[in-house]
Amino acid sequence: MTRATGDLSFRAAQLRSLKRGIDKFEPALFRAMAQDLGKSEYESYASEIGFVQHEISYHLKHLKKWARPQRITTDLVNFWSQSRVVREPHGVVLIIAPWNYPFHLLMAPLAGAISAGNCVVLKPAEYSSLTAGVLADLVADTFSPEYVTLFTGGRDMNSALLDERFDHIFFTGSPALGRVVMEKAAQHLTPVTLELGGKSPCIVAPDADLNVAARRIAFGKFINAGQTCIAPDYLFAHLSIKNALVEKIRLAIERFYGPDPRQSPDFGRIINPQHFSRIAGYMDRGEILMGGTTDSTERYIAPTLLGMVSAEAPVMQEEIFGPILPVLEYEEIDSVISFINEREKPLALYLFTGSRNTEKQVLSRTSSGGACVNDTVMQITNPRLPFGGVGSSGMGAYHGRHSFEAFSHRKSVLNKSTRIDIPLRYPPYRGKMGLARLLLR
């Protein structure tokens, strides 16, 4: 091993090369994501390319500070010594990304892995095959394969890679596949970061600003045609404002995408026919409050609000990952909290309220990977906040410094002087118990 990637100047040079490579391949990435997911250039830039460029810039700005050894206070037992924590790379890491944000969810972890000084094996998703092809060209053009390399392919390739021994695995995908990754990693005792999903609830209290709530819910739910792991998955609206909120969301959707979202250049498409059929089938159980239009030839599903939904309906059993938002009503916030706590812990939780007391109740009595008050999905845009799940929605976190830490080993180092060697710890121990009790209590 040359350990060349451990050098900070080398890491910074690699990050700068990645920024230049992204700029070079930006037009090809725009075309590929438009074909794979129907994304507009603006959405592809704001939610994928620009997000990653900002992440890389943040790492370049702070890398030296993050990598600096951290001095730690030393206790009396280790008198006349120095303690520190040193960050060192894990080694060779595997990053497996999903198809819904095929650039963002591969390249953002890559920035953290490079920043921490690792060699990296990348595996983009098969479903977003055109974007994967551009990513393969970008990586080959930007990096020496001994430092960063990329493999394309389907589940067979995933399985083959997971059979290999890595020093860390970073996986973004479904909880079901997360279990497979964890099982494979256990064979080599490989540590994992799992960024999974779940049904993220959105609660609108009666004192919320309904105009703002409607816009922000519509934005967070229908960006990328609902194929977002942190999108609001179901909506709890207080019965006193439910009808007004539904109408305001309908108006917001129309302002965003026009009277026929199929004609809008800003509304995406479902990734493939299999997912289209699964999502469209959810509309069989419930009352369509707006939307409901589908076109299998275009893989188009209109932004849809679904009412009269029971907790047992298929749409409430698994993550929707599409442009359907079930709307439920409530009278007391306690019932919503109980509903959330009876289910798996979500990746995100959203609450719209003007009440600090309601905010405190909901956030202190529920558990989620992250939360956002009076907005949706924007919690991921602050690189200073850790992003990750809890329970079945994932383990570990990244973004900004948290990415650097996720891909680093924190090595404890004690440097002790030889000038003094206190005999207390050495046998014989007769008569030393009193002093030991004094020091160690």
**232: burial class by Cβ within 10 Å (0-12, 13-18, 19+)?**
buried
Q: What percent of the chain has pLDDT over 70?
A: 100
Rounded to two decimals, the pTM is: 0.95
Q: What is the mean pLDDT of residues 340-345?
A: 97
Q: What is the mean pLDDT of residues 377-385?
A: 96
Q: What percent of the chain has pLDDT over 90?
A: 93
Determine which helix (DSSP H) or strand (DSSP E) holds 96, and give its type and residue range: strand 92-96
| Average pLDDT along the chain | 96
pLDDT at 2: 60
Whether residue 1 is predicted with pLDDT greater than 50 in this model: the reply is no
Q: Which of 119, 202, 229, 372 is catalytic?
A: 229
- Domain parsing of the chain, residue ranges: 4-196+393-413, 201-385
Strand ranges in 113-268 using DSSP code E only, listed in sequence order: 119-123, 148-150, 168-172, 192-195, 201-204, 234-238
Q: Among 75-89, 247-261, 323-337, name the one with the lowest average pLDDT.
A: 75-89
Q: What is the mean pLDDT of residues 378-382?
A: 96
What's the CATH fold of domain 4-196+393-413?
Aldehyde Dehydrogenase; Chain A, domain 1 (3.40.605)
Alpha carbons 197 and 220: distance in angstroms, whole number: 15
Name the CATH superfamily for 201-385: Aldehyde Dehydrogenase; Chain A, domain 2 (3.40.309.10)
Assess whether 195 carries a catalytic annotation.
yes
Assess whether 119 carries a catalytic annotation.
no
Q: What is the mean pLDDT of residues 293-304?
A: 97
Whether residue 3 is predicted with pLDDT greater than 90 in this model: the reply is no
Q: How many CB atoms lie within 10 A of CB 163?
A: 10
Q: What is the mean pLDDT of residues 143-170?
A: 96
pLDDT at 436: 87
Q: Which of 195, 319, 372, 405 is catalytic?
A: 195
Structure tokens at 20: 């230049």
Whether residue 170 is predicted with pLDDT greater than 50 in this model: the reply is yes
